[in-house]
Structure 1
Amino acid sequence: MKISIITVCYNSEKTIEKTFKSVQAQTYKNIEYIVVDGGSKDSTIDLVKKYKSMISQWVSEPDKGLYDAMNKGIEMATGDIVGILNSDDIFTDEKVLENVANFHLKNKNMDASVGNILQFNEEEKTVRKYSAKNWNPEKLKIGFMPAHPAIFFKRDLFKKYGLYHLDFTIGADYELITRFFLQHKITWKFSEITTTSMLIGGVSSSGFSSYQLISKEIKKALTRNNIKFSYLKVQLRGFWKIIGFLNKK
């Protein structure tokens, strides 16, 4: 089983070498590693060239943003399954892709696996584990999605059901997950694998204005896919998270 891993980047010289090293350290070797750069002005491309022996394909050119770059990577991919590794993230250990491959091989009729992630701060201290153990697609209707980098999709799904929609600012991953899991009802399983350590503080995780924008885009994604939902529950999803946290204590 070939796994295509896609890293998109732009001016990522401060973090991307750790990303490359985490791919290089994987015990699973049937990896197609694709790097899509948006035309970086710093030394990112020098680092790409430094690690070119482990990179299957790469391109550096202007794009229309993060999701356009992801689409380019998916269209370049030839693997059986596809995963995303952001340019400031790393795999949690050297056996992540070996474990993912084994899980998919044991569940050959499964369209996607869903796992967990860790979040760390700039001091490299783990501050949160984001688990999908209790997640199910119905939770998309109230604004909850599994961590995007912990999902590994069969590549054929993108041919059947389409790529990321570029008219979303920070919610194209939410829309694609909604489209795949709710509209097309793909088959999936929780893998229990903690796949990725992510640097906290991304484009969709900071501030009230960001909260409002993602709320708007969640509603847009659900409406586009003809999913019935409550506007109020989506708007109050932060409240549901607090309740869920208190119930666990």
Structure 2
Amino acid sequence: MPVLSIITINYNNKAGLEKTILSVCSQTDANFEFIVIDGGSTDGSKEIIERYRSKITVCVSEKDTGIYNAQNKGIANAKGDYCFFLNSGDLLANENVIKEIKQYLTVTDIVYGDLIIVDATGKKEELHSPEKVDAPHFMVSTLWHPTAFIKRSVFEKFGAYNESLKITGDYEFFIRTVLKHHVSTKHIAFAISIFDLGGISNSDKNNELHAKERKKSWQLNYSDAEIVAFEELTRHQRSREYKVRQLFKKIFNPFSK
């Protein structure tokens, strides 16, 4: 049984799919299974899959009901101890990521690292994940999905992705598992993957759906009273952090305002 299952979801993104496949195949440690779930693409993605079929352990190409339905298919086909999602268009940060991360894939439920984002102009920025992920963190952020190695047993015990959500299924999953059920987590301080922001819509409609689904993600797991308590805790923590930053400014630069 392999330690790791790398799962790639694709729909009509043949250029991104090929980049992702090449990134996975360039790893110096190839002891993993590679699963590609395609949503019945019509843009030539199937030809890309066939071109690299010998490198792909499992391939499913059929219509799905959305990204989380596709990701759940990936989990259902996985045999590895850990699942890692690297969807079409995303890349591993370098050719040694899998080799370096494997030493940490032992007992921890969710191992996560840092993320490199690329904007529409090609500018790169590395985002560092926190050492601790708690309610205040999830109130304002999330765990970046393409940096997270998730034990397959976590899906078996607490359920897979909620397919009623269109864009925050991973966010809800982390709230459910990390916060509600207290699965173990560990931050590894190096970049895992490169995420292209070019395909993300910034439309008002998309932002509205995102806000609505983030709220629903909390409501699926906590009562209104509990959510209010988390919001209050977040406000207090952010206020305290601001005061500490201001104090340090005065200590190290007494003439600053």
1:86 aligns with 87
**Alignment size in residue pairs:** 237
Residue in structure 1 matched with residue 134 of structure 2 by the alignment: 137
Quick check: 1:168–1:217 contact (8 Å CA) kept in 2? yes
How far apart are the structure 2 equivalents of 1:73 and 1:198? Answer: 20
**Per-residue Cα deviation, 1:177-219 (whole angstroms, up to 9, x for no partner):** 111101110001111121110110444x623333332222122
Give distance in 2, aligned partners of 1:70 and 1:62: 13
Match of 2:113 in 1: 115
Structure 1 residue 41 corresponds to structure 2 residue 37: no
The answer as to 2:199 corresponding to 1:198 is no
Q: Tell me if structure 1 keeps the 8 A contact 2:72–2:160.
A: yes
Contact (CA 8 Å) 2:37, 2:70: kept in 1 or not? yes
- The verdict on how the C-alpha distance between 1:175 and 1:140 changes in structure 2, with shifts beyond 3 A counting, is farther
Q: How far did residue 135 of structure 1 move?
A: 4.8
Match of 2:181 in 1: 184
Among 222, 245, 250, the residue aligned to 1:226:
222
TM-score (norm 1): 0.87
| Alpha-carbon contact 1:35-1:55 (below 8 Å) kept | yes
Question: Which residue is 2:252 aligned to?
Answer: none
For residues 185 and 36 of structure 1, the distance between their equivalents in structure 2, rounded to whole angstroms, comes to: 30
* 1:59–1:200 distance in 2 versus 1, CA, 3 Å: same
SS in 2 for 1:14: helix
The offset of 1:56, in angstroms, is 0.2
Tell me the amino acid that sits aligned with residue 186 of structure 1. Answer: V
Structure 1 SS opposite 2:155: helix
Alignment partners' CA distance in 2, 1:76 and 1:123: 37
User: Cα RMSD (Å) of the superposition?
Assistant: 2.5
Structure 2 partner of 1:159 = 156
- SS of residue matched to 1:82: strand
How far is the alpha carbon of 1:2 from its aligned partner? Answer: 1.9
Q: Does the 8 A contact of 1:10 with 1:38 survive in 2?
A: yes
Give the C-alpha shift of residue 157 in structure 1.
0.7
Q: 1:146: how far off?
A: 1.7
Q: 1:58-77 deviations in whole A, cap 9, x for unaligned?
A: 01100001110000001000
Mean Cα deviation higher: 224-233 or 143-152: 224-233
Q: In structure 2, list runs of 5 or more residues that go unmatched.
A: 250-257
What's 2:254 paired with? none
SS at match of 1:29: coil
State yes or no: 1:146 paired with 2:143.
yes
Q: Provide the secondary structure at the position in 1 that maps to 2:150.
A: strand
5+ long unaligned stretches in structure 1:
none
Q: Distance in 2 between matches of 1:140 and 1:122?
A: 27
Deviations 1:205-239 (A, max 9, x none): 623333332222122111111262249959x99xx
Instruction: Judge conservation of contact 2:136–2:231 (CA < 8 Å) in 1.
Output: no
- Contact persistence 1:143–1:218 (CA under 8 A): no
Distance between the aligned counterparts of 1:130 and 1:85, measured in 2?
A: 17
Match of 2:70 in 1: 69
